[in-house]
């Protein structure tokens, strides 16, 4: 008699965990995918840029990290554009930099 109860509870538990866990995953995934909205992009006079830390992204939407600035401590980056974006409710300034074939937003 006890074996049947334990088997029924175990199957019920597995069924509920299969139903509840996809709901938990979808809510956490949607919460972490906040979009970045580009407000303006302007050209700036070409200037040399040196940085010590931070990520260089492939687009001004900050979707994909392309390089890490700490890997290029002695590289002369040339800044040519500046963008104002809204990220997590705050306005952030980004700079478009290039060095040879490497380019991106920081």
* pLDDT digit string, tens, across residues 2-25: 666 666 666 655 554 454 444 444
Three-class SS of the chain: CHHHHHHHHHHHHHHHHHHHHHHHHHHHHHHHCCCCEEEEEEEEEEEEECCCCCEEECCCCCCCEEEEHHHCCCCCEEEEEEEEEEECCEEEEEEEEEECCEEEEC
Model pTM above 0.75 = no
- Taking only the tens place, the pLDDT of each residue in 88-101 is 889 999 999 999 99
Q: What are φ and ψ of residue 7, in 5° steps?
A: -65, -40
Distance from first CA to last CA of the chain, Å, rounded?
A: 66
Average pLDDT, integer, range 18-37: 52
- Residue 94: Cβ within 10 Å count: 21
Average pLDDT, the chain: 79
Top-confidence residue, 42 or 19:
42
Q: Where are the domains of the chain?
A: 1-33, 37-105
Residue 60: pLDDT over 60: yes
Strand partners, 81: 43, 96
């Amino acid at each position: 008699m006890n074996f049947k109860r334990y088997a029924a509870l175990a199957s019920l538990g597995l069924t509920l965990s299969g139903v509840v866990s996809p709901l938990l995953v979808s809510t956490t995934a949607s919460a972490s995918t906040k979009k970045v909205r580009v407000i303006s992009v302007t050209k700036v006079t070409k200037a040399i840029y040196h940085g010590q830390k931070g990520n260089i992204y492939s687009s001004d939407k900050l979707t994909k990290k392309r390089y890490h600035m700490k890997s290029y401590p002695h590289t002369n980056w040339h800044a040519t554009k500046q963008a104002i974006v809204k990220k997590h409710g705050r306005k952030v300034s980004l700079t478009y930099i290039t060095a040879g074939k490497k380019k991106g937003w920081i």
